[in-house]
Structure 1
Amino acid sequence: MLRFFFLIFLIVNALLLALNLGYLGKWSSEEREPSRMKLEKNADNIKLMSANVAQDLIEAQTKKAEPVLACLDLSGFTAADSKSFDEKIKTLSLATRLTRTELAEVATNMVYIPTLGSKDAAEKKAAQIRKLGFSEFYIVQDQTPMRWAISMGVFKTPEAAKAHLANLQKKGLKEAKLAPRTVSAAKVSYRLQDLNPEEKQLVEQIKSGFVNAQSHECASKTE
């Protein structure tokens, strides 16, 4: 597009030069001389206006070509997930534009399957749970009466825990129960600043590999 405008600029100036030298038309010297003098008088103004227009076009095109930079907030990463995310995001060389925040999240309402008595029985039950479409659970292995139970989730509020329990029982896990249990888990979030469109797309692709991760736009520091 810029080449087109410069080509027009050159053609206009060539025509002005031709008129000035009398190559266009078969004017008599009387007709040509006043025209030549008038062109000489206005030539500088004409060239100056054309140069200004061309410069405006260049600046407009440059501004249009600048990519819109984005800011993304990512949340919902567990400590384990964040380690994997950290490794993947390193390939994009965003260290100077990335802020990582880790918070301890305390929950006190546990939905669980009572102890199965052994590791083998717990793993067999875990396989059945996966077939029902659940993936967010873990087998309790600490040295407590809960050993070989299966935690189906720990929630901040009783309401959220009861809703999850009802869903599990509806799907066939009638033995699921609710009990108070304080658990502190690390949750990691990220802020990525000044991403160009390609970088933003790559970050979203990496994020999509983490089931519980969420993202939303934030205000960029460059705005």
Structure 2
Amino acid sequence: MLRFFFWSLLLLNAFLLAFNLGYLGHWSLDTHEPERLKMQHHADQLKPLSASEAMTPAEAGNEKKPEIIACLEVGNFLQAEATRMEDKLKTLALGERQSRINVTEVATHMVFIPSQGSKEGADKKAGELRRLGINDFYIVQDQSNLRWGISMGVFKTEEAAKLHLNNLSNKGVRSARIGPRTVSTNKFAYQLHTLTAEEKTKYDAIKAEFPAQENRNCQTTAYSRS
């Protein structure tokens, strides 16, 4: 019996030694990485991927797309300013992506120069304004107390009127003032569609020349177009 156990242990130890030395092959499913690669076909053709190459299609689809502004509206311009704005906007070459709309605006605050007493006096004052580089005005010719005065602009709020008066003062106009006057004025606004980031940057440089005008989202109200 002792002899049987002796030979059994001897054979078991020999089997374990042969297994550990690899003479009996690889039975374990948990094979180490270097040896697993040796067992694969064309292992020499494998190469590591960079982070960008390893990006999945879903991740690639999450890349930030260029910002597009659906529709931007700027206004409201009197005729003289509208013409100048259109000349500036031509540099953007927006084509059908640019449109002009008519806006009827009711204002209750006027910036004006009081009556000059006669047409000749009003014309003389108008010439002085043009020499200061100011062209956005008109001579009042109705039968009101402002006849032969000069309107420098009408505004919906007193704050806007004060801002315009301050701008005129900085340009050298000293006789202008603010008074109540309800006026319905036809003005113009511009809608710019699907602006790219580059086009928006160019537009911002143009808009800087018209500080009194405001940017806004395109109106949902139906305007008449021209």
TM-score (norm 1): 0.53
Aligned pair 1:56/2:58, yes or no? no
Aligned pair 1:80/2:80, yes or no? yes
Deviation at 1:80, TM superposition (A): 3.0
In the alignment, what sits opposite 1:70? 69
* Structure 2: distance between partners of 1:109 and 1:58: 60
In the alignment, what sits opposite 2:8? none
Cα 1:57–1:78 change in 2 (3 A) is farther
Deviation at 1:156, TM superposition (A): 3.8
Cα 1:138–1:87 change in 2 (3 A) is closer
Q: Counterparts of 1:121-140 in structure 2 under 5 Å?
A: 121-125=121-125, 138-140=137-139
In the alignment, what sits opposite 1:39? 40
In the alignment, what sits opposite 1:90? 90
Cα contact 2:97–2:192 (8 A) shared by 1: yes
Cα contact 2:140–2:150 (8 A) shared by 1: no
Structure 1 gaps, min length 5: 1-33, 219-223
In the alignment, what sits opposite 1:8? none
Cα contact 1:107–1:184 (8 A) shared by 2: yes
In the alignment, what sits opposite 1:25? none
Deviation at 1:200, TM superposition (A): 0.7
Q: Which amino acid aligns with 1:54?
A: E
Cα 1:109–1:65 change in 2 (3 A) is closer
* Structure 1: distance between partners of 2:160 and 2:202: 35
- Spell out, residue by residue over 1:88-134, the C-alpha distance to the aligned partner (whole angstroms, 9 max, x if none): 32332323433433210122444533321234533554577799x99
- Spell out, residue by residue over 1:72-99, the C-alpha distance to the aligned partner (whole angstroms, 9 max, x if none): 3323322332233223323323234334
Of stretches 62-71 and 88-97 in structure 1, the one that deviates more from structure 2 is 62-71
* Structure 2: distance between partners of 1:203 and 1:102: 21
Greater C-alpha radius of gyration:
2
Q: Which amino acid aligns with 1:117?
A: G
In the alignment, what sits opposite 1:209? 209
Cα contact 2:109–2:156 (8 A) shared by 1: yes
Cα contact 1:75–1:215 (8 A) shared by 2: yes
Cα 1:134–1:81 change in 2 (3 A) is closer
Q: Counterparts of 1:150-189 in structure 2 under 5 Å?
A: 150-156=150-156, 173=175, 176=177, 178=179, 180=181, 182-189=182-189
Q: Secondary structure at the match of 1:201?
A: helix
* Structure 1: distance between partners of 2:44 and 2:159: 79
Deviation at 1:210, TM superposition (A): 2.0
Cα contact 1:111–1:152 (8 A) shared by 2: yes
* Structure 1: distance between partners of 2:112 and 2:135: 12
Cα 1:88–1:130 change in 2 (3 A) is closer
* Structure 1: distance between partners of 2:52 and 2:198: 33
Q: Secondary structure at the match of 1:80?
A: helix
Q: Secondary structure at the match of 1:148?
A: coil
Q: Which amino acid aligns with 1:178?
A: G
Number of matched residues?
Answer: 179
Structure (1 or 2) with the greater helix fraction: 1
Cα contact 1:76–1:212 (8 A) shared by 2: no
Structure 2 gaps, min length 5: 1-34, 219-226
In angstroms, what is the RMSD of aligned CA positions? 4.8
Cα 1:115–1:62 change in 2 (3 A) is same
